[in-house]
Amino acid sequence: MSFRVLLISEDPKETELFSDLVRELVECQIDRMSHFDWSGRTTYHLVIIDSSPDALASLEKVKRFSPATSVIVISDRATVEQAVAAIRMGAEDYFKKPVNLEAFQHAVQRAADRKTVFDEHTGASSYLNLLNSCQLISAAMDQAKVLAVVQGYFWRELRTQHSAFYRIEEGRATRLLEVEGSEDSDRAMEEVLDITLAAASPLDKMAEASEYYRFVERGHLTPGLFVFRFRCVGEADLFFVCLSPERPSPMDAFEGRLRLLKAQIEVSGKNIEQYIGVQSLAYVDDATGLYNTRYLSTILDREILQNEQTKLPFAVLFIDVDKFKSVNDTHGHLIGTKLLNALGAQLKKYVRGSDTVFRYGGDEFVAVLSPADLQTAQMVAERIRQSVEASVFLKEEGVDVRFTVSIGVALYPDHAQSKKTVIEAADQAMYSAKKVSRNCVYLASHLMKSGETPAALPTEIAKPAKPARKSPRKASR
């Protein structure tokens, strides 16, 4: 097979330059694209990704589905952290512009040498598959990514076309989840897999016998199975199950690769658990169990980046308890803290699964709704306001606490073009609500034309008056 190269770049001049540099070293076929699309492109030996905002995600996808493919990443604004992440995920090299042309050609030559050494007919491709899969597993920071890599590994190792993950719940095999990056599910094949698994019942037997893999022979009416038992995050056994596997040869070498894969998954699972624990300490508010302002900054960065890619707006709700000081004065600070905890739990009930709630400081909360247009943001804000007004808090504590909240709503990018200004816009709107009447929802003023009065909503949403203060309060940590 001739050396095949895929060059992804939006700049025609740089495309020509990199193409010429590659052709100076090796005879090859070079295909060019302006954006990344890996569908059905697993036969490339080298992929060059030039200045893509999603370069690391593209690299991960290439290495997950085609570990033998070498990848060179070129960036306008490379950082040390990005370079380290790219190398950990198996990149041949990572360059910052202006590119050192000699170093670039060295990376291309390594890719050409890899094609020669790891050609499928040399017998080394199975070990390359294992090496790259372990690299991706090591770099993963959540279990879903680990499972996606494991699935890709067995697709190549066993030439299997349909697979799923299971765990044992109440004595039954339960399908775990849809794996990120997998192809659209085939309902008929899913049913065949479930029926075959139920007929063979290998999961309980493997756990009892401490087996970490098993081939189940083809039955009279059912296809053969391969089952791999492992643990990742937590103490529960997970099972990868696939239909009609090809038995690798020799089996002792296959068993050795499985042991290494299993060990890497378990080590990465422990690392993910530690990472989650550190995240919790760094990003969770002790009093309410909600995320804190440190994580709010991270989420806003993510949402702004997502808006640049999808053009879908998101909303920020700034929520403040009306006359909270009187609650503390009447019932004491311990009850006040429990009240904030109860309010935080209530807020989470009245937002969507894609939304995130934060304690901003004191008796102030922030909700980021993503994605959300103005109508959705108004609806969610009003639902929160009504639910709080209708609730009686801390009955179990022998007290009867009732209160209301004032809410300010701002939309990105309609009302602000940065994470700081979108928070300020929502805070200003909330302050206007408190100043005028409390227990209502106000929109950021940038939405309204001067002197315009908006249509009435279930709660009055009026054009906010310009507040007297110069800047919003800083969050208390």
DSSP-derived pairing of the beta strands 3-8 and 238-243: unpaired
Which residues have a Cβ under 8 Å from the Cβ of 280 and sit 6 or more positions away? none
Cis-peptide, bond into residue 413, ω within 30° of zero: yes
Q: Please give the pLDDT value at position 213.
A: 96
21 vs 28: CA distance, rounded Å: 12
Amino acid at 323: K
Give the pLDDT of residue 476: 37
Question: Which pair of structure tokens corresponds to residue 407?
Answer: 């809410």
pLDDT score, position 474: 39
Give the 3-state DSSP-derived string for 347-412, with helices as H, strands as E and coil as C.
Answer: HHHCCCCCCEEEEEECCEEEEEECCCCHHHHHHHHHHHHHHHHHCCECHHHCCCECCCEEEEEEEE
Q: Does the global pTM surpass 0.75?
A: no
What tokens were used for 163? 């697979």
State the Cα torsion 106-111-114-120 to the nearest 10°. -170
CATH superfamily assigned to domain 3-122: Response regulator (3.40.50.2300)
CA distance 274 to 261: 20
List the Cα angle 420/461/422 in 5-degree steps: 5
Helix, strand, coil percentages for the chain (3-state, nearest 5): 45, 20, 35
For the record, the structure tokens of 13 come out as 């001049």
- Predicted local confidence at residue 178, as pLDDT: 52
Q: Could you give phi then psi for residue 441, rounded to 5 degrees?
A: -115, 130
Pick from 457, 466, 272, 295: nearest CA to 379 = 457
> What span, in angstroms and rounded, lies between the C-alpha atoms of 106 and 101?
9
Q: Using CA atoms, how far apart are residues 431 and 410, in angstroms rounded to an integer? A: 13
- Fold assignment, 127-281: Beta-Lactamase (3.30.450)
Phi, psi for 89 (deg, rounded to 5): -85, 0
The rounded average pLDDT for each run of 10 residues, N- to C-terminus, in the chain (477 residues) is 87 93 93 81 87 84 84 87 85 92 93 76 73 88 90 90 88 74 63 88 88 92 93 94 92 94 95 81 82 90 88 94 84 85 90 89 92 91 94 82 92 91 93 90 61 37 39 40
> Which residues, listed in sequence order, are joined to residue 215 by a DSSP beta bridge?
226
Distances (CA, A) of 49 to 181, 281, 336: 19, 37, 54
Query: CA 319 → CA 276, 421, 449, distances in Å?
Result: 28, 16, 24
For 161, the token pair is 């076309």
Buried b (16+ CB within 10 A) or exposed e, 66-97: bbbbbbbbbbeebeeebbebbeebbbbbbbbe
The answer to whether the CB of 156 falls within 8 A of the CB of 129 is yes
For the chain, which residues make up each domain, given as ranges? 3-122, 127-281, 293-447
DSSP 270-320: HHHHHHHHHHHHHHB-TTTSSB-HHHHHHHHHHHHHHHHHH---EEEEEEE
Element (H, E) at 128: helix 125-139
CATH number for the region 293-447 comes to 3.30.70.270
CA-based radius of gyration for the chain = 28
pLDDT in the model for residue 179? 56
Distance between CA atoms of 306 and 412, rounded to whole angstroms? 11
